[in-house]
Structure 1
């Protein structure tokens, strides 16, 4: 039992801590709005209490004592009270909606900015579809937490206090009967709150998982259809949907249990009051005005009591959402700029890898002391079998990760001592799988340098051998590319990606298998574009196909995280027992075999390491 009490106390402390954090982060800026909303709520509470209070005068003075001259004044007062209440309700609703929408927008911006600061390790462990779904579901929890707290504290609590005051004023003894619902109602709320906390978090997580799975299925619909996976995925989705439905039904059952409990207790209290009031009126002959006013106050108090009884349940549901948002916001980037980090100034673009060691997981090294130099203005090719660590070198150079040991320098400056922003501004990157964003072709090229003019964008497209197909599109450069460039071929997307790298005009260029997935014609056009952009830039090229690196100024060969040899194509190709020479001979023999067999399609060696 002590452990249970400690858990309940911790849960209550957590609720208070999250609410305090939300108020501290947002309350000050919205003080004027919340002040006006609170004034509106106080007006609602006052007019509600007035409605109950005036009932005694209506019954005793007008109908019992027949003072008909008061009727006009009372009717006017009631009309004014309801008009004030109507305008106050409108003002409160509009103000809270405006604040709530602003809070949602603020946290959406804050979440996106924070996500952009997190390192790749976070995104490697989080499913993007599920993450997006979780954010879209949970961001409203902050808004609901604030609005529920404000309305509960001001409108409902003040209304209840005012109505209880009217009840006590009208009949102190009778008021005691109304409070019989208090203890059992509080007990019920606390019981349901504990039950709801666990099931709500389960529901949010399963729904985010469900929406993420749906997004992945839509994005991979071509693979789904090609492998006739429709029935398999439909079965999987049915299981997720059924589980999500069951969780939602359980939330409804738990949270709505408060309804019959509240109704029963309120009915018992009202019935008791009516029975006692009727007995007293019949025996003592007291005028009914006070009783009518009391009953009116009691009935009007039922709504704020019901809302206050549910507010903790509703806050608990909003709290789950808010906590999950803060779990993301509280995730610290593992890789930050050092204090006092300077901006990188690239003069020549010479890159040195000095005894670089790195592993993604403990005891699983990917790079084992790699050292080499990429000379300024020259092309350095990095080759080796899959898993040798080639792409990891690019990730370290772009500071997606920091090395476990050793260092990488550009013009002698350690890149861990410069800002990531200045480092990445100095690098243009073309990946094997180019990614295009929602928008036009022009927009996607301009992402390389947002301040590029239209003329610079079009010049980059011409250099990338892209303008010919761009002008054939329905709206030229302003043609929308669809989701991830779905309306374009692989070669066209790659050339737009190269144009994006060209317009960046960075002194360092990274090419990660930029032509491996292309057909011969597209590869030839892309290679021409690459030759132009590589001119007078420090270029690092990752390649599986040796045919793409024979003209490189320097070749680095990796195997199992080690640098096993380096040199020019000629020196490495004639090395008797070299890894590069062995694979080069295999590829040229394969190419010759294809030529001898009349297979002209593969006129250049394309075997991979």
Structure 2
């Protein structure tokens, strides 16, 4: 049960605060009940008997009760707010830590905008469950019980009239809460999709504008918004259905009490003090009774929110370290792919029986048509994914037997899509190695041909970046990404089309710098220009997930009927040379090369 789990995970940490809040709520309940109880003395002694000696005592007691109630209300409100805020912060931290432990495959299957929307909507559910539980039992229930005791002591018959009409209300509320559960879940899902659509639209606004997608996006999102509105309206109808029910029952009870008390006072000559005390207790009991009546409905909504947070927290990492995983120690940095096979989910295999060795301290280029499996192959080295068959070894050690953290510390990675984070340019470079000095960061930027344009920014290295570095050009973002990899200073360097966003001049400058940075490192590189690939010590040519050729640029170019030679010939015909282009002539099996 979600409520039990939340209390088990958090109750012990906040037990002192909750005890203090509960004590304050007990004072609120006691002072509220006292206000009802003292009304008999107010009416009988002050107005009926006109006993002046007791007036000051009564007034002083009332003032003291209000002061105590005010101070106690403040204390419990602040205490519960602090606990609630800390709970939200705690679960936000748990969520980010857990998301960091999940494999890349999870994020490939789940839209990032939807994850963000689900977290932002539902994380407060944990706080609401705890606070509703405490306030309902320590304040509302105790207040209601104390006021009922006052009512019974003042007039048992009138109390019986009130209590008789309560069961139908409770039965009706239970029925409503069951119907509310599914409606709340649907509403949360729809609102998450609306927020997700908005976030994706903002992130891709240039594409939206370029393809005049405004009307399409607006129309598609309008359907989601309308569905979310309808679900919210349904929840409102279900939730507020309790109001006419409780108000009607309360009206019947109070009017019946007034009629009974009035006839008894008129015909029985009974002092009205007890009745006024009773009616005060009854009216004061209405609010806590109404809140308790709606507790199941409000708690159901909070539990649905909390349950969706636990769905993320309960997601198991698919790439945990093995039980006896050791730390990886890299010597030369030789990378061997041994009979490697891989496929995404239950789809077609992307890699089949791939075997080759990237020699230590040398550069190995991977080329082939789009969809050949080049980027997938590189993603296996830092264990973004694990092969479905075969092994990946570094210096003879199967990387599946070492910790992912130690493995990734030995690797610097530059993806084909540079990604920059919130913060300054210097912050983004230092992510690669937190202990890097400013001098080391600037040296890496110089190697990546980024130092000059960084200094040209308003605050130089301290310039704050927009979302994903939107205030920089694509080539500038890529050069910062390359500089970040150089700051890492790792023995293995992975370049997945690292110069794809650069113009010819920038690429030539960065390539020259990378040649220096590649020395004494094992480099796996995917490049979209053969001019870059030609400098590699070894070239692996892939097609349809298989290795079809291996050799140097000179050897592969000399084989005129080979795929590499055809790729080179095809690229030389265009204005830009591209190893990813697919030649139109067919291979020996009759398929497109």
8 Å CA contact 2:359, 2:522 repeated in 1: yes
Aligned to 2:581: 608
The 5-angstrom pairing of residues 57-136 of structure 1 reads 57-136=41-120
Taking the TM superposition and a 5 Å limit, the aligned residue runs for 1:393-542 are 393-542=377-526
Structure 1 residue 605 displacement after superposition = 6.5
Q: TM-score, normalised by structure 2?
A: 0.96
Match of 2:587 in 1: none
Q: Which residue of 2 aligns with 1:147?
A: 131
What TM-score results when the alignment is normalised by the length of structure 1? 0.94
Alignment of 1:538-553 (within 5 A): 538-553=522-537
Q: Are 1:253 and 2:228 counterparts? A: no
Q: Distance in 2 between matches of 1:340 and 1:93?
A: 50
Q: Between 42-51 and 444-453, report the one with greater CA deviation.
A: 444-453
Which whole-Å CA distance do the structure 2 matches of 1:499 and 1:518 have between them? 14
Q: How does 1:88-487 map to 2 (within 5 A)?
A: 88-362=72-346, 364-487=348-471
Note the aligned Cα RMSD (angstroms).
Answer: 1.3
**Are the aligned partners of 1:30 and 1:99 in contact in 2 as well (CA < 8 Å)?**
yes
Measure how far apart 1:606 and its partner are. Answer: 6.9
**Aligned twin of 1:46:** 30
Matches within 5 A, 1:520-599: 520-588=504-572, 590=573
Q: Note if contact 2:366-2:525 (Cα within 8 Å) is conserved in structure 1.
A: yes
Secondary structure (helix, strand or coil) at the match of 2:130 reads helix
- The Cα of 1:579 is off from its aligned counterpart by 1.3
* Cα separation, 2, equivalents of 1:578 and 1:540: 22
Please tell me whether the aligned partners of residues 498 and 529 of structure 1 are also in contact (alpha carbons under 8 angstroms): no
Change (3 A) 1:363 1:204: closer
Find the partner of 2:9 among 2, 25, 41.
25
Question: Could you tell me how far 1:411 is from its partner in structure 2?
Answer: 0.7
Could you tell me how far 1:379 is from its partner in structure 2? 0.4
**Secondary structure in structure 2 of the residue aligned to 1:515:** coil
SS in structure 2 opposite 1:391?
Answer: helix
Match of 2:18 in 1: 34
Separation in 2, partners of 1:577, 1:420:
42
SS state of the match for residue 361, structure 1? coil
- Note if contact 1:391-1:542 (Cα within 8 Å) is conserved in structure 2: yes
Unaligned runs of 5+ in 2: 583-593
Q: Deviations over 1:43-94 (max 9, x none)?
A: 0000011111111111122222222101110110010001000000011100
Q: CA deviation at 1:102?
A: 0.3
Query: Alpha-carbon deviation of 1:237?
Result: 2.1
Matched with 1:4 is none
Contact 2:379-2:385 at 8 Å conserved across structures = yes
The alignment of Structure 1 onto Structure 2 pairs a total of residues equal to 582
Give the match's secondary structure for 1:109. Answer: helix
Superposed displacement of residue 368, structure 1: 0.8
